[in-house]
């Protein structure tokens, strides 16, 4: 029997924070998360935009999620996508790009921006203004450039209220081109793809970006410098990925500089919010919600964590988190963890050996991992998930051998604590294929051949087979390969996605039919001087720094963590 698809009423009945506004006299905005409700509603950025736009008196903002093959209707009022003159699209994962186009198609919206504009003299319902945002678009917006009229690059808070007010005033009166020109003149952080033309050499490699005189040569991303009330959950639901978990940011960005992590680079500089601002956010938690998730714990000051721990203990809250830095498990944290009812946690050594962890600049040792495992087990958390990547630059079979040894040592640590406490633990070993991302030192490096990734998985399976209480979970290298094509993709890849939507062939055949060689995008080693399509965005990071970091990684040299007071290394601070 076919499973019943959930309908909006199912979600709304148990959701807290839903905004229902009467439409009369208001400008409707569709907020789209092209994936499941559960994922979108766990995303703080998505929630923040929802609350922020609805807080503006002239607007009504309703949510759309992706359900395969279903015409999209808004969660709040069940209206179709064609009723909205503005679509705000929130993209966190490259894999959602195709979902977004599918959602447009089933919703009766032409995906191609050029075609939409050609049919209208004003942005309006059915021919809407499409705005893109979210971390996947400010790492590399280019695969979506043919479909989006305007990208808001960076963090939304510094621009969104003013931009929406501008739209309220001009949307109905100005033709699309004029409106977009006005926006790039007036606002920073706005990227309008139609004002930039890409030129390729005979080798198919980008060699020039031609910029319209109306637009800046590069688009500087937006950063929230200060927060009175730290970012926190605005919507709570038992159906969200983090069910009824009140998320609160301790800061943004990360000081560690792991060389594979795009978020660690594009959210620079690392910022820690003041304890008062975090406590102000926690005070907004609905009384009946007792589980709190803290984001950015690896950066928190010990004294702030102590204040937060006191507050949570006093309020009778349980602490939850998705992943911890293995070298950041302090006494306060353990105390708090012991009070929580948490049974499982994740540690991400990412690289299997000490050597590989230097290559990726992870900055944690085997001893850190084992100490963390022991501390967590003693706090009653004895189901551990260990995250690793395969296919990292310079990886050999010896590194995989060390990965297995480390897993076995963690297992034995859990076993030792389990014998004392009578609680036996277990391990989930989660292994993903490494995908090189734009704006990281590994943007120059190629994705590993599928054959070698499959061989590594076979090797790990064999190694784990003899380990009791240990389960191996691996991703499909083929999916990671597709992600690798999108991660460093350009507008040509975007047009291939469009063709995929209309055709019957699989993604590889469609790309080849569009003249795209996926291997070239995913696996080609890039040179120091190559111009990248995503460099339309200016994150303030000096590309020479990224290259130097890449070279250091190959020499297995580490880089110290950020010190925003003094450091000028990457170019983001004190520029």
**Beta strands in 339-401, from DSSP E residues, in sequence order:** 344-350, 383-390
Nearer to ligand SF4, 306 or 570 (CB): 570
Q: Which two structure tokens, joined as six digits, stand for 437?
A: 């991302």
What is the signed CA dihedral for 225, 226, 230, 231, rounded to 10 degrees?
-30
- Residue 553 CB, shortest distance to ligand SF4, in Å, is 15
- Residue 351 CB, shortest distance to ligand SF4, in Å, is 20
Nearer to ligand SF4, 158 or 540 (CB): 540
b/e map of 20-58 (b: 16 or more CB within 10 Å)? eeeeeebbbbbbbbbbbbbbbbbbbbbbbbbebbbebee
- Please answer whether residues 438 and 487 qualify as being in contact, where contact means their C-beta atoms are separated by less than 8 angstroms: yes
- Residue 188 CB, shortest distance to ligand SF4, in Å, is 19
Q: Which two structure tokens, joined as six digits, stand for 253?
A: 């960005």
Q: Note the residues at the interface with ligand SF4 (CB under 6 A).
A: 268-269, 562-564, 567-570, 572-573
Distance from the Cα of residue 101 to its chain's centroid:
19
Which residue is listed with tokens 């111009």?
531
Nearer to ligand SF4, 313 or 548 (CB): 548
- Residue 439 CB, shortest distance to ligand SF4, in Å, is 12
- Residue 538 CB, shortest distance to ligand SF4, in Å, is 14
- Residue 535 CB, shortest distance to ligand SF4, in Å, is 17
- Residue 169 CB, shortest distance to ligand SF4, in Å, is 37
Nearer to ligand SF4, 411 or 437 (CB): 437
Nearer to ligand SF4, 245 or 262 (CB): 262
Nearer to ligand SF4, 27 or 562 (CB): 562
Nearer to ligand SF4, 196 or 265 (CB): 265
Q: How far is CA 555 from CA 29, 392, 531, in A?
A: 50, 14, 24
Residues whose CB falls within 8 Å of the CB of residue 325, separated by 6 or more in sequence, listed in order: 256, 297, 298, 364
- Please answer whether residues 446 and 523 qualify as being in contact, where contact means their C-beta atoms are separated by less than 8 angstroms: yes
- Residue 251 CB, shortest distance to ligand SF4, in Å, is 13
DSSP state of 172: T
Indicate the angle between helix axes 44-55 and 160-170, nearest 10 degrees.
50
- Residue 571 CB, shortest distance to ligand SF4, in Å, is 6
- Please answer whether residues 507 and 500 qualify as being in contact, where contact means their C-beta atoms are separated by less than 8 angstroms: yes
- Residue 268 CB, shortest distance to ligand SF4, in Å, is 4
- Please answer whether residues 482 and 523 qualify as being in contact, where contact means their C-beta atoms are separated by less than 8 angstroms: no
Q: Name the β-bridge partners of 64.
A: 32
What is the signed CA dihedral for 357, 361, 363, 365, rounded to 10 degrees?
10
10 Å CB burial of residue 544 (0-12, 13-18, 19+) is: exposed
- Residue 361 CB, shortest distance to ligand SF4, in Å, is 11
Residues whose CB falls within 8 Å of the CB of residue 27, separated by 6 or more in sequence, listed in order: 58, 59, 60, 85, 86, 167, 168, 171
Nearer to ligand SF4, 196 or 439 (CB): 439
β-pairing, 271-272 with 251-252?
Answer: antiparallel
Nearer to ligand SF4, 40 or 296 (CB): 296
Nearer to ligand SF4, 47 or 559 (CB): 559
Q: How far is CA 175 from CA 123, 297, 551, in A?
A: 7, 47, 49
Other CB atoms closer than 10 Å to residue 471's CB: what's the count? 12
- Residue 325 CB, shortest distance to ligand SF4, in Å, is 16
- Residue 575 CB, shortest distance to ligand SF4, in Å, is 8
β-pairing, 196-200 with 206-211?
Answer: antiparallel
Nearer to ligand SF4, 269 or 449 (CB): 269
Distance between CA atoms of residues 324 and 250, nearest Å? 14
Nearer to ligand SF4, 412 or 568 (CB): 568
Nearer to ligand SF4, 453 or 570 (CB): 570
Q: Give me the DSSP letters along 384-436.
A: EEEEEEES-TT--HHHHHHHHHHHHHHHHHHHHHHHHHS---EEEEEEEE---
Q: How far is CA 476 from CA 35, 134, 433, 460, 519, in A?
A: 19, 25, 8, 14, 17
Nearer to ligand SF4, 243 or 573 (CB): 573
- Residue 230 CB, shortest distance to ligand SF4, in Å, is 20
> Length of the chain in residues, anyone?
575
Q: Which two structure tokens, joined as six digits, stand for 557?
A: 């040299």
């Amino acid at each position: 029997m076919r499973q019943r698809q959930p309908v909006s009423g199912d979600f709304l009945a148990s959701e807290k924070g839903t905004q229902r506004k009467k439409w009369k006299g208001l400008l409707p905005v569709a907020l789209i998360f092209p994936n499941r409700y559960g994922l979108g509603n766990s995303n703080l950025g998505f929630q923040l935009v929802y609350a922020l736009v609805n807080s503006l008196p002239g607007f009504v903002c309703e949510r759309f999620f992706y359900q395969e093959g279903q015409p999209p209707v808004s969660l709040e009022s069940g209206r179709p996508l064609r009723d909205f003159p503005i679509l705000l699209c929130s993209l966190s994962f490259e894999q959602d790009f195709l979902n977004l186009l599918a959602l447009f198609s089933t919703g009766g919206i032409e995906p191609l921006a050029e075609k939409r504009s050609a049919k209208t003299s004003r942005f309006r319902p059915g021919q809407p203004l499409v705005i893109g945002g979210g971390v996947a678009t400010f790492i590399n917006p280019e695969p979506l450039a043919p479909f989006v009229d305007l990208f808001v690059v960076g963090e939304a808070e510094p621009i969104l209220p003013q931009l929406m007010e501008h739209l309220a005033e001009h949307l109905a009166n100005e033709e699309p081109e004029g409106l977009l020109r006005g926006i790039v003149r007036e606002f920073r952080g706005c990227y309008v793809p139609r004002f930039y033309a890409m030129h390729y050499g005979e080798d198919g490699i980008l060699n020039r970006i031609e910029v319209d005189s109306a637009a800046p040569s590069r688009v500087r991303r937006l950063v929230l410098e200060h927060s009175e009330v730290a970012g926190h959950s605005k919507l709570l639901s038992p159906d969200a990925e983090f069910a009824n978990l009140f998320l609160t940011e301790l800061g943004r960005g990360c000081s560690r500089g792991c060389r594979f992590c795009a978020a660690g680079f594009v959210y620079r500089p690392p910022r820690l919010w003041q304890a008062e601002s975090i406590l102000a956010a926690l005070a907004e938690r609905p009384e009946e919600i007792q589980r709190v998730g803290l984001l950015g714990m690896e950066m928190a000051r010990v004294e702030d964590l102590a204040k937060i721990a006191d507050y949570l203990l006093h309020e009778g809250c349980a602490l939850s988190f998705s992943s911890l830095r293995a070298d950041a498990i302090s006494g306060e944290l353990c105390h708090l963890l012991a009070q929580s009812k948490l049974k499982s946690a994740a540690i991400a050594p990412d690289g299997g050996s000490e050597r590989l962890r230097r290559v990726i600049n992870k900055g944690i040792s085997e001893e850190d991992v084992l100490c963390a495992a022991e501390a967590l087990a003693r706090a009653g958390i004895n189901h551990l998930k260990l995250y690793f990547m395969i296919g990292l630059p310079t990886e050999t079979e010896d590194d995989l051998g060390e990965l297995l040894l480390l897993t076995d040592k963690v297992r034995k640590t859990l076993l030792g604590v389990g014998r004392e406490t009578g609680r036996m633990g277990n391990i989930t070993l989660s292994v993903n294929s490494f995908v090189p991302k734009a704006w990281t030192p590994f943007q120059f490096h190629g994705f590993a051949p599928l054959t070698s990734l499959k061989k590594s998985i076979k090797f790990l399976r064999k190694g784990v087979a003899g380990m009791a209480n240990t389960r191996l979970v691996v991703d499909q290298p083929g999916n990671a390969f597709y992600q690798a094509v999108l991660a460093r993709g350009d507008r040509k890849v975007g047009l291939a996605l469009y063709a995929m939507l209309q055709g019957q062939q699989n993604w590889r055949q469609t790309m080849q039919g569009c003249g795209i060689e996926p291997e070239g995008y995913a696996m080609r080693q890039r040179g120091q001087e190559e111009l990248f399509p995503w460099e339309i965005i200016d994150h303030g990071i000096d590309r020479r720094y990224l290259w130097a970091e890449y070279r250091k990684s190959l020499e297995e040299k580490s880089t110290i963590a950020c010190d925003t007071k003094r450091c000028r290394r990457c170019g983001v601070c004190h520029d």
